Structure 1
């Protein structure tokens, strides 16, 4: 991880249709109960066409807006002479109860079954669900379901039409359900929608569609192996599953669940992004930060390190004053140049607040003093060594304090930084992530320090592999999709020579930066700006990288990180 040589880091008018029940005269058997399975085809109109729906007067069409979910919906242009009735006929089983539902919008919109029950709404300015049940006759094998508007009442819309119950055909002889879909993952998201894809299911006769669930609610039905669920709230977590079904109405078990947090308001996918190399005022010939900012375009710095000066009192490096000293001077210079800072608490060595404050509340209070002193937008806890990283009680204390701080400081971003293996988090890294989940710490960024592996020269490959391992751990722990997991990842590298003589060159760091951008991670940092100067053959020292490079070259590369 670290040696003392470098000291550190690492989401209707009148009803005209009859409502008589379907004939049951002479039936002896009681109605069967329908297992929930949508037996309609193109129920969400996601195919982009009407088939197998037919609409009177050619007044039906598929539109992209407004939709209830997915990317398509039915539009019926009811006129003074035609109610724009759109219908679909399906095979059903005799003497069986079915439930018909649809999401509709407009004035006097109906859903129902020919010769049977119907329901309607006089006015729906936004999508409203209509639902009605009916029971088939003793020898009935087909039913025609419909939706329509009303004469002279204008256009209506319908989406996510569902007829739940067993399919007909073969007299119900097909009782074998499809296999469960596999590999459900998110392929994209906005502030109001999530796109999903999955691997196809198999069936002894054939799969006819897939029902996509948002929690326990059916969100949409599609015939292919992808869907977009719309109408979601910004910055909100949703959990999705998919079930396959066949023509007989047999439904599969649920797929794996995937949890996705929609993007923040405005439809962007940005979230929290930070390019913030470390700057240390207590070591390594500290450069003037405005000089570095002017030369490189970097805006953020991670300021190292806030430690314990005794009695759970924060101080820079444990001995420089919290305010009024060289650290505040540097922060003032950074902010005067349009930048900002995130302080790093902890590190490899020294007397640390996490280890020395007696409780999570005491640690939160000490950290709050730093937040108040500088009006901070983010804090980083660099959790290392046996006193913090390998101490389970201290891990829990730090995470609980961070949870407390987020509740007390709306908008505050919390970062934890820790070591890694070449394939992802170690035992203590995994435990840190699991504890964060267990206590609901809501950590914004989990940053790994992919160096000091104990050997190995492929710093790009090792860094990517470690980050992918972290991503997989976040997915399995939190139930996130790939995009959400990446958006919670940070990388904090080491420029030039590491403590163990690993060499991250400017070219390798550029590759790492480009990978970080293409995978939209949250944070990119390195240790340190103090060392971002050339000294080929200079070894592992505090004020240069030990390799041939341009002055501030790693900082310039890092400034190109946009997430």
Structure 2
């Protein structure tokens, strides 16, 4: 079968006709008559780009859809319901005593295509179904006085929705005008970026009527062509800002690029390994309160997780920013970022802490949860933080903070480090907001380092009261979390690094190591002994790295090696 291809023919039909001609994996039912030079596609709105114009569907069970589509921005979706098979039809003008080829691309189970009122023998064909688009095709000849036929498609009883695109009734011009020639599609709207990686940016946009393809531009240069309303741009440079636009195109030409451009910064390349099985967390002070002032590069290598304290709240509820203190001696922010990158390259996690004794961020609505996630992720991208620490000491709303942390995790990816530092009272039972938060985000939670200080005597998991500053206090209160549903790997013992680090509750480093041995090995316990051992216990935390340095790193020099030696 040979077709003459003319520029005036609609591109949507020509693609299907050429595919039919070469038999590219398609099953053609019936024998088509030779096409003449004047042959056209007599069907109108054959790609459903103008909704259901020219089509009638039974039972109100036909509609257009933007996915899946074969070409353009739309396709027909028919949904059989009850005794209705979602029959959609169009009356097509034809020429008497002429041969026509009827074809369409379909998707779904038991999809039928046919023509009635031909004046000769009515025809139909069907597909039993399969994955992706397949082409149905048949042919018919009109009678001596036939000037119109009805072409139709439908599904079958009890079957799911079917889809149809690119219908053609190819043959002599019946006088109905046929398919309108394409016009340049409008500019696509709704361009948005998904979560970038270090080298890729996913994009999506709203379909443009009549478009058969879309061109993606990066910084003004076309880099990709797509036939759907999404694309992922690859081969990008980590930690680099890019601007993206998209245009729509068809046989008539290309639209202008979308505006304004969407700006996206790729993530910093992840050189940081996962947090070790047993880890030491320390808070690095972004202020000078009399403790040793140190740059990040000077932090002891005994710390595995370094929490930069603290982020600052803005006037927008939930939103964070960070202001590097000039008291630290950094020449500029770039030097600080370089120190973060160096620590991460050395296998350490550097995270941004939110809250503290005087800091507070309010997250009590969907809007504030989104503001938190967006701003925290922006800080992670800008500075190279690979996680966040929640140290809110003025009350939290677990419902909305859970939403915020999950949104952040979706942006940052599965290797985001998430830590918490609740006060002792916050983890006394599973009914507290902090405990509810920890359980709600357990699947993305790295460690809860409860502050076992500034509290006085508290209840342990056995219902007995234990004095602050003892091995029993540390183990019996950790037991509450272990029995309450957190994994041992999510439990850390938080203590002051020196007597000056807190108002009360300082314990010697040897008390911390004894408590870890009791939980992990069942040795060096006090009067309280856990019912079982927890060799997966994560480790310990201290406030702060700077107070530890002020005391000659006496805390980390003892606790760090001991944590690494846990089973």
Answer whether TM exceeds 0.5 for this pair.
Answer: no
Structure exhibiting the larger radius of gyration computed from Cα positions: 2
Q: TM-score range by the shorter chain?
A: 0.3 to 0.5
Q: Which has the higher contact order (CA 8 A, sep 6+)?
A: 1
